[in-house]
Amino acid sequence: MAITHTIPKQHLVLIFVIAFTLRALTFYAFTSQGERYKQADSADYHVAALCLTYGVGMCRPDTGEPLFWRTPGYPAYLVPFYKAFPPQGYQFNDAQTAQTMSLWFQIFLSSFIPLILLYLALYLTQTVFVAYAVAGIAALHLGLVLASGYLLSEGIALLPCYLFLYFFYRSLSKDKTPNNIKLVILAACMLALYTWIRPMGNYIAIVAMLIILICTGNNWRVKAKKIALFASCFYLLLAPWYVRNYMHTGHLFFCPMFGAYLNSFCAPRIVSNVNNIELLDAWKILGSTAQQQYLEQKPEYLARGVHLPKEFVCGQIAWPIFLGFPLLALYDWMREVFKTAFDLYSSQLVAFVQGCFFYDPLIEYLSVKYADCLYNTPMTLFMRLIVYLELLYTILLWIGLIGGLIQCMIIPCIKRFKVSEDIKNMFTLWLGVTPMIAAAMFMTGGFGYARLRLPVEPLMLILSISYWNYFVITKYGKGKS
């Protein structure tokens, strides 16, 4: 299937200009003031960028310890700006000029996102209205606007992520031409680039190969070839970092974040519930235990000439707790996934007002976050208007998703696919897209918040608008005529 509609160049230029203008104004007038672009993880990226800038690689110059927690993609993006505008010292705000210039370029690049999503939506739906609606919403989307001006990896990572989605879904065509092979390679390359910046791409790759297995016709040889080509390209591009980590530790891994996440977020909540103690106390106990065991095991690793990632020790402590109370762990995990799905990006505005935007709390409750956004936290009338507009957007988005799930997935299965050709096509769309959305959401169970759904929110938007377009606009229009 090819894109059969031509988008006028002046429309593309207009969408880009709107996206760039809104992002630039937001950064200039708001995010750049008081270093609001410094979020919870920004300091880590600053340290890694300094290490790369001063030629010591992804290793701390003071201890010689390699950095494992962060992958080098985003720090590498910052390096040219740190070299062009050398920091005056080692503190975060000593690199303010370099950071600001890097963010301006990041804003420019991120302004192309609505154009990528326009073509993604146009390919998946073959509907011009849906494509323009997705692009328009993406140009104005609060989460995308704010992310473009943060010193965080999303600002850059979303570009290859959305390009991956575009090339990947085009590669699912049954076409056997060389162009289809090229699309598989491009999809793998874009996902690898995304993974260098945000390691979650490793999990998305597994889901992508499962989707190829499900959605690429009935020819098993074609399925196997596509999966083999995708996997080989993807892992070959990531191989240098796997090799680097193996040389440093004797273990083959890309990023050991899972152990640290479990020990920082999931395990303390379980320990707090089981032992009826304060969450902060549970967090301190597990952190102290991890530090103690790290110091006990470290000499053994050093004697072998390798390093021990502290994240491994965190995993050794957290996994037995997590697996020891599986129902409680699953409940806690899914609660955070639910929070990712329904959290408002406006919560970041609340964090700005409250002055807590540069760190993450140990736990957040969705009901409290909604109350803070809608009425609890004093804020300007303009900010409150943004909150209520986002709430309206969220309600319409989920009505479309729930309605589409019923009409496009559940009813066709009940009727054994004795439905119209349009519904069959929409079923195919949902079948290919929902596993990607569900998998990306499920990965956020450590600590959920709105920003973590950005990689797949365009897919959610495409499905929702497709429902509104077909079942509300088209059907209603036919009924009135």
Residue 260 gets the label, from left (phi > 0), alpha (psi -120 to 50) or beta, of alpha
10 Å Cβ neighbour count for 240? 11
Please tell me the distance from the alpha carbon of residue 78 to that of residue 98, in angstroms, as a whole number: 8
Alpha carbon 65 to its chain centroid, in Å, reads: 28
pLDDT of 358: 78
Which residues have CB under 8 Å from 118's CB, separation 6+? 7, 12, 15, 131, 132, 134, 135, 138
Task: At 66, give phi and psi (nearest 5°).
Answer: -65, 150
Contact 15, 136 (CB under 8 A): yes
Which residues have CB under 8 Å from 294's CB, separation 6+? 308, 310, 313
Instruction: Write down the pTM of the prediction.
Output: 0.94
Provide the angle, in degrees to the nearest 10, between the axes of the packed helices 279-303 and 310-324: 130
Task: Provide the residue count of the chain.
Answer: 481
How far are the Cα atoms of 78, 200, 207, 270, 407 from residue 431, in angstroms, in the given order? 38, 22, 13, 35, 13
Please tell me the distance from the alpha carbon of residue 240 to that of residue 302, in angstroms, as a whole number: 23
Tokens linked to 111 = 């302004």
How many helices (H) and strands (E) are present in the chain, helices listed first? 23, 0
Round the CA-based radius of gyration of the chain to a whole number and report it.
23
Contact 90, 43 (CB under 8 A): no
10 Å Cβ neighbour count for 428? 14
pLDDT of 301: 92
Residue by residue, DSSP assigns 271-292 as: HHHHHT--HHHHHHHHHHHHHH
Please tell me the distance from the alpha carbon of residue 106 to that of residue 108, in angstroms, as a whole number: 5
Q: How many CA atoms does the CB half-sphere of 123 hold within 13 Å?
A: 19
What 3-state class would DSSP assign to 216? coil
**Closest to 114 in 3D by CA, of 228, 20, 35, 188:** 20
Amino acid (one-letter) located at 480: K
Contact 333, 445 (CB under 8 A): yes
Which residue matches tokens 């992804």?
Answer: 58
Within 198-219, where are the H helices?
A: 201-215
Please tell me the distance from the alpha carbon of residue 306 to that of residue 34, in angstroms, as a whole number: 42
What separation, in Å, do the N-terminal and C-terminal C-alpha atoms of the chain show? 31
**Closest to 210 in 3D by CA, of 223, 201, 229:** 223
Identify the sign of the CA torsion 414, 214, 339, 452.
negative
Amino acid (one-letter) located at 383: M
Please tell me the distance from the alpha carbon of residue 310 to that of residue 166, in angstroms, as a whole number: 37
Contact 188, 230 (CB under 8 A): yes
Please tell me the distance from the alpha carbon of residue 259 to that of residue 201, in angstroms, as a whole number: 17
**Closest to 332 in 3D by CA, of 345, 342, 321:** 321
Q: What is the pLDDT along the chain (481 residues), one digit of tens a residue?
A: 666 678 999 999 999 999 999 999 999 999 999 889 999 889 999 999 999 999 989 998 777 789 998 999 999 999 999 999 999 889 999 999 999 999 999 999 999 999 999 999 999 999 999 999 999 999 999 999 999 999 999 999 999 999 999 999 999 876 666 678 899 999 999 999 999 999 999 999 999 999 999 887 768 888 899 999 999 999 999 999 999 999 999 999 999 988 888 999 999 999 999 999 999 999 999 999 999 999 999 999 999 999 999 999 999 999 999 999 999 999 999 999 999 999 999 999 998 888 887 777 888 999 999 999 999 999 999 999 999 999 999 999 999 999 999 999 999 999 888 888 888 889 999 999 999 999 999 999 989 999 999 999 999 999 999 999 988 776 665 544 3
Which residues have CB under 8 Å from 401's CB, separation 6+? 460, 463, 464, 467
